[in-house]
Structure 1
């Protein structure tokens, strides 16, 4: 006689619950990272295109990119723009709270920084 092998119904329910939780978590976390990469791309593009521009011009350019990419987490006023010599450093630090279930949430801390100009690395 051979012993039956396989997954019992109870085991299947446990595996299904684990897979469901992983999928729910992924569906909630992925949009936060997509927005982060959109912000990073916008800041990088602006830093390359607006070398030597005024902070107001950089913020206006970011506002256009934010409208196109539907960026809500970082506004043009949130950008920290430092100009030293021929170098411009654009920086954005922000936090994103992603609610998971009931009172359980994830807190993500994102930092985007891009340098441009003559003294940039």
Structure 2
């Protein structure tokens, strides 16, 4: 008498579903990656300005430094006026908060919100 043998594995439909899910997340990563790269560029600009400035620096000096960094790093999603100079305990801090709307497909978009605070030396 022959025993029934069962084959293990996924069907073609199962593989298609898995591939569709993987491709969707790869597409999402490709669309969102530039927004995060731009955020890290903005963050590094604020860090370098904060290291170069002090709490006694004037607002116009700080804005001039930020403008220079944004120009060098080709940052155009935010302007120098969007960077707030806040008073905190022990000095001042640079604060930025913005959002980036990314069109995914059709009428579907992703909204990514960023904020960063960097204390001045």
TM-score (norm 2): 0.85
Give the total of aligned pairs: 117
CA deviations 1:31-84 (Å, max 9, x no partner) are 111111111111111011011221111111112211222222221111111357
**What is the CA–CA distance in structure 2 between the aligned matches of 1:3 and 1:81, rounded to whole Å?**
68
* Aligned CA-pair RMSD: 1.9
**Can you give the 5+ residue segments of structure 2 that lack an aligned partner in the other structure?**
none
Shifted more, 41-50 versus 80-89: the winner is: 80-89
Indicate whether 1:113 and 2:96 are aligned. Answer: no
TM-score (norm 1): 0.85
Structure 2 counterpart of 1:101: 105
Structure 2 counterpart of 1:75: 79
Judged with a 3 Å threshold, the aligned counterparts in structure 2 of structure 1 residues 9 and 84 are, in CA distance, closer, same or farther, namely closer
